Structure 1
Amino acid sequence: MKLTILGCYAATPRTITNPTSQVLEIKNRMFLIDCGEGTQVQLRKNKIKFSKINQVFISHLHGDHFFGLIGLISTFSLLGRTTDLHIYGPKGIKEIIILQLRLSNSWTNYGLYFHELESEESEVVFEDDKVLVTTIPLKHRVYTNGFLFQEKVGERKLNMDAVLNHEIESCYYQKIKNGKDIKLDDGRLIANSVLTFDPIEPKSYAFCSDTVFHEDIIPIIENVDILYHESTFLESEVSLANKTLHSTAKEAARIALKANAKQLILGHYSTRYESIDLFKEEAKTIFPEVLLAEDGKTFEL
């Protein structure tokens, strides 16, 4: 699992910072999370293949989280894309994008599918054989969701010493990896636990932006491996955070602590501060394992 931060600042793009967008890679799946202005430029800078993005998750309809989407959709067409693109986001996202495509007569030459979200409760929005994605209802000025990405438990790993010792033919390897016991020609039953090792522990990643301090999300993200939580302000501006329904670095740390997250990544910084290191210093007074998102930074989860 690898997370690439394309942009992690609040409000408006600048020459040195970009609004929210990130790419999460899980078991050869590549998910784009939010799509602020400049996302496609950041994708190129970070050498991420456009063709590998088949799912886009939009948290809410504030411009710094989706104004880059129509440009990316149009570029996909110019590049000759034929693979379907699925967009998951709040109700209204389809109307916004289709209106722009219609008025500019720029219809895509690939399938464009919208999965509009309205539920105030957590729900599964994407699932395949390797990954499960669930919404995290957040509390902001407009309808907003975070997203919880969870790996599914993988295959068991072959203990090749044991397999070869029992002279088991390779045609049975997949059956063994699927957890099945094996019966030998002489009638002996070899338990799967003898022939395999436990699969790698599945990882999870929670994306939470934008939201006021909101403890209702804790049961959804409990024990998450990595939590990305917005930290627009420092505690000195907590009144402004409450007014705008954003969070402080300390509040993000409190959520991480209460959820028993293994690590916390801070992001969505207000540009009023001289250094983002101040966010880390403040959060670490509450929660020890704090990392800072930065444009172009990659995290191996």
Structure 2
Amino acid sequence: MDLIMLGTGNAVATNCYNTCFILNNEDNYFLVDGGGGSGLFRQLEYAGIDWKDIGEVFVTHKHMDHLFGVLWLIRLVCQYSVRGDYDGELFIRGHNEVISIINDFIARLLRPVEVECMGTVVHLVSVVSGEHCIINGHDVVFFDVGSDRTLQYGFSMILDDGGKFSCCGDEPFHECVRDYVYGSKWLLHEAFCLFSDADVFNPYEKNHSTVKDACLVAESLDVENLVLYHTVDDDIGSRKKRFYDEGCMFFSGRLFIPDDLEVFSL
């Protein structure tokens, strides 16, 4: 399985796309979040992925930089289905609030003939914390990340080698998810900025972590590989080195700070 980082930036990033990624298992594509708009299709094109081949989507929460790209995907699936140019099915999972918002947008924005695709071509599936399902042949469990601001879910997936791939959304770590993510072979965790730049970017006011915070969490969770995302983009050319230099002081595993479109073999 490959992890394809379509985007790595925070909500207002302009030098990279908003955070979203794909898990690719033998050309079975599982999209997690969609970024903030139609730029999702540019990133998919750059990654060599046809949007028509995406069959599974998970939306972590309702923020625009995670949700709106998925609305564009739904629009094209419905539009092309009505024209007879799409013959697949799209499953979109999320907690009840996310699914309700998507339903409302679709009812208001799409043509009635396109709305008729909902439930037959596009399937909106509400999930609850602790629920398991099979996505592209792999066991996935969804969990509430414990946010006190916006309801948000993460997930863990069991890989072919028995290792665990976990995504904590874009919130700082909360103890309520420890059992879900402990011992992960791969952990995706947000890191808004360097700890040394916290007085510049004010991550805690935005309910985000620093690189130091995320690395200390991963160390306490016995994580093998840590991927940091949802970052500032003020100096994108040096971000990888700056984040790595701070993070490796607090995390003893393998640390990755990806650029957009970077691919990792899991």
Tell me the TM-score normalised to structure 1 length. 0.75
The alpha carbon displacement at 1:225 in A equals: 1.2
The alpha carbon displacement at 1:244 in A equals: 2.0
Question: Does 2:101 correspond to 1:99?
Answer: no
The alpha carbon displacement at 1:286 in A equals: 0.9
Residue deviations 1:190-249 (CA, integer Å, cap 9, x gap)? xxxxxxxxxxx3333111221123233222112211111110122135573333221111
Structure 2: distance between partners of 1:219 and 1:212: 16
Letter in 1 for 2:16: T
- Contact (CA 8 Å) 2:34, 2:66: kept in 1 or not? yes
Aligned to 1:151: 159
Residue deviations 1:34-64 (CA, integer Å, cap 9, x gap)? 1112212211111113233111011111111
Runs of 4+ in 1 over 6 A off after TM superposition: none
Count of matched residue pairs: 249
Aligned to 1:283: 247
Aligned to 1:46: 47
Aligned to 1:75: 76
Letter in 2 for 1:263: N
Identify which of 113, 127, 132 aligns with 2:123: 113
Q: Structure 1, unaligned stretches of length 5 or more?
A: 153-200
Question: Does 2:163 correspond to 1:203?
Answer: yes
- More helix by proportion, 1 or 2? 2
Instruction: Classify 1:128/1:144 alpha carbon distance in 2 versus 1 (closer, same or farther; 3 Å).
Output: closer
- Contact (CA 8 Å) 2:13, 2:233: kept in 1 or not? no
Structure 2: distance between partners of 1:128 and 1:281: 36
- Contact (CA 8 Å) 2:146, 2:176: kept in 1 or not? no
Instruction: Classify 1:100/1:218 alpha carbon distance in 2 versus 1 (closer, same or farther; 3 Å).
Output: closer
Structure 1: distance between partners of 2:98 and 2:122: 12
Aligned to 2:184: 224
Q: Structure 2, unaligned stretches of length 5 or more?
A: none
* Bigger Cα displacement from structure 2, 55-64 vs 98-107: 98-107
Residue deviations 1:116-173 (CA, integer Å, cap 9, x gap)? 24x4x4332x226830111232243201111111136xxxxxxxxxxxxxxxxxxxxx
Q: Output aligned runs, 1:1-301, within 5 Å.
A: 1-14=1-14, 16-26=15-25, 28-36=27-35, 37=37, 38-79=39-80, 80-103=85-108, 104-105=110-111, 106-107=114-115, 109=117, 110-117=120-127, 119=128, 121-124=129-132, 126-127=133-134, 130-140=137-147, 141-151=149-159, 201-238=161-198, 240-273=202-235, 275-276=238-239, 277-288=241-252, 289-301=254-266
Residue deviations 1:277-301 (CA, integer Å, cap 9, x gap)? 2222111101131011211111111
Structure 2: distance between partners of 1:55 and 1:13: 26
Question: What secondary structure, in the 3-state scheme, does the structure 1 residue paired with 2:139 have?
Answer: strand
State the Cα RMSD in Å: 2.2
- Contact (CA 8 Å) 1:74, 1:108: kept in 2 or not? no
